[in-house]
Amino acid sequence: MPEKKKIMLVEDHPIFRLGLAELINQEEDLVACGTATDVDEAIKEIEKLDPDLVIADISLKNSDGIDLVRHVKKHSRDIPVLVLSMHDEYLYAQRALHAGARGYIMKQEAMESVVTAIQHVLSGKVYLNDNIKEHILSNIADNLGTKDKSPMERLTDRELQVFKMVGKGLSSKDIAIRLFLSIKTIGTYRERIKEKLGLKNANELVRCAVHFEKTGLIESVDDSSFNIY
């Protein structure tokens, strides 16, 4: 029997993590070798377990999965990362790929597609579903951004990271500490986010960020909700 490929799960929702591990362990050539709930824990476990592939959620406990992708690419180049998220793939897939991920999969389709995605990435390929492939090719055809972008697409990676942290209930001081930035710099990011999303004040920013963190949707100022695309 060939040696099983070790898959490490970086996911802070225990029920989803357990279901994913059971699904992986049903495969003859795969085994879920370990888990982590945030970036710091994941880095330690990756060094200890030396997995063949890491599956990482973007929204982690007190941290951001994109940061983990960047770290793995820089320090563990031979270990591919497959990103999964509840958030819209059009917003995050390209950001994840730019950071070094080898694939992106939505949580809604994870149970149906995760094994296929794992095998695809382990074979040295990049895994994306047909919808996101079409979106990326469309962006390339339009010279990567000459067409109108949605409000969320206009946020830089750092602005999006701050926005998500606001949605998790972190204060500007807490965000500054975690990102090793000044409170003034975080204030500047918050102002840019409000301007790009058309938000009038801090209360609207917090409400919008919390709604996005919970649902993956942007809530407009008139209390109606709309998709980020």
For residue range 86-116, what is the model confidence (pLDDT) as tens digits?
Answer: 776 677 888 888 889 999 988 877 777 889 9
Give me the pLDDT at residue 63, please: 76
Give me the pLDDT at residue 3, please: 87
Q: What is the mean pLDDT of each run of 10 residues along the chain (229 residues)?
A: 88 90 93 93 94 92 84 88 81 84 85 89 90 73 58 83 89 90 92 90 91 70 39
Give me the pLDDT at residue 226, please: 35
Rounded to whole angstroms, the Cα distance separating 30 from 5 reads 5
Give me the pLDDT at residue 221, please: 45
Rounded to whole angstroms, the Cα distance separating 54 from 155 reads 27
Q: Which among 109, 51, 117, 48 has a CA at the least distance from the CA of 82?
A: 117
| Ranges of each domain in the chain | 5-141, 157-226
Rg (CA), the chain: 18
Give me the pLDDT at residue 222, please: 44
Q: Are 93 and 128 in contact (CB under 8 A)?
A: yes
Give me the pLDDT at residue 217, please: 65
Q: Which residues pair with 84 in a beta bridge?
A: 57, 105
Which pair of structure tokens corresponds to residue 70? 């960047």
Q: Where are the alpha helices (DSSP H) in the chain?
A: 14-25, 39-49, 65-75, 89-99, 107-122, 130-141, 157-167, 172-179, 183-197, 202-215
Consecutive H or E run containing 55: strand 53-57
Where do we find the tokens 């500054």?
176
* Domain at 5-141: CATH architecture: 3-Layer(aba) Sandwich (3.40)
Domain covering 157-226 assigned CATH 1.10.443.10 in the classification:
no
Give me the pLDDT at residue 117, please: 93
